[in-house]
Homo-oligomer: A and B are copies of this chain.
Amino acid sequence: MAGGKADRPRPGEFELIAELFAPLAREAAGAFGLTDDAALYRAAPGKETVLTVDAMVEGVHFLPSDPPDTIARKLLRVNLSDLAAKGARPRGYLLVTALPETCSMSWLEGFAAGLAEDQAAFGISLWGGDTVSTPGPLTLSLTAIGEVEEGAMLPRGGAQAGDRVYVTGTIGDASLGLAVLREQLHSGSDADRAFLADRYRLPQPRVTLGPALSGIVYAALDVSDGLVSDLTHMCEASGLAATIRAADVPLSPAAAAMLLAESDVTFASLLTGGDDYELLLAVSAEAEEAFLEAAAGAGVPVALIGHLEERANRTPETLVRLVDAEGEPIAVPHAGFRHF
């Protein structure tokens, strides 16, 4: 997080906001150039507002060595992933930065550049925020504001017994990427290692698919704590249990290679690793065709990995059952990845 030799001193709060953050708010009329006490927002007619907030702490949610632009983009994207999981289109965000003295001006410039890049990519603006100092680690928090048509928010708990469980993209890459960056894994090609590190640093929120699933999918969430942990949440919210076929869980070629080469990497570790930021979706038999069309239309790969079912004697530890190709149970550690 240190700046280069030529790094200039960090200005005061107001100057910092004016120089680095106000340009990010230029296109949002209701942000008032970040000079007012609050932001003003008017939802489009017939729309509802979806709000989410996520925090990231240096050393807990990102590595001190992570580049500032990817930290900024990840902070934004983990929140956009929450909006996508609710079928909401992102509109704007509020940013809180608690900065240690060691946080240099060049680091902050990189951070703001990352935000600018993703604002353009996702069509959103900074609306407001707060900048404070901290004697502790760099601490970031972002409130994302999105919109859905009235009544169109995707719930977490609307699944029915018999629904298929789908997941977008691939699972386990980010936890492997973190291990690569921590130098805990040494196999794999440079390209594979770079791919995995990138999956850790730059999640791909499914912002196009989420809003296309309204009326098709009635249980959705984003996989942030690990597939098993988040699927357990869906089961709890829907009063159901799940069976997942291990062989159908989509792995990237890089993750598959690590699984073969590294004894510390187990299939269970991929299913309980965090930071995937893929969507987990319950799809009824009747809606399956429409769902697959929506996914194809959004250009998002999806995989059918199991189904939801009624089950007697439901306990949190056994809501998600993992089976092999013959339907035989595979042990799976319950605990998902927890930053907390």
A interface list, Cβ under 8 A from B: 12-13, 32, 35-43, 48-57, 59-61, 82-83, 85-86, 88, 94, 96, 98, 127-137, 139, 141, 143, 145-146, 148, 150, 153, 155-157, 221-222, 233, 236-237, 338-340
Q: Collect the chain B residues with CB atoms within 8 Å of residue A96's CB.
A: 53, 55, 96, 141
Which residue of the partner chain, among B32, B39, B51, B155, contacts A39 with CB atoms under 8 Å? B51
Q: List 28 A-B contacts (CB under 8 A).
A: A13-B338, A32-B156, A36-B155, A37-B52, A37-B222, A38-B52, A38-B85, A38-B153, A39-B50, A39-B52, A40-B49, A40-B50, A53-B94, A53-B128, A55-B96, A55-B130, A55-B141, A57-B132, A61-B132, A94-B143, A132-B339, A133-B339, A133-B340, A135-B137, A136-B136, A136-B139, A141-B141, A143-B143
Which residue of the partner chain, among B38, B128, B145, B148, contacts A88 with CB atoms under 8 Å? B38
15 more contacts with CB within 8 A, not counting A36-B157, A53-B143, A59-B135, are A35-B156, A38-B50, A38-B51, A38-B153, A39-B52, A40-B49, A40-B51, A40-B153, A49-B49, A51-B94, A52-B128, A55-B98, A56-B132, A57-B133, A57-B135
A133 and B156 CA atoms in complex are apart in Å by 25
Quick check: B36 and A86 within 8 Å, CB to CB? yes
Q: Collect the chain B residues with CB atoms within 8 Å of residue A43's CB.
A: 42-43, 49
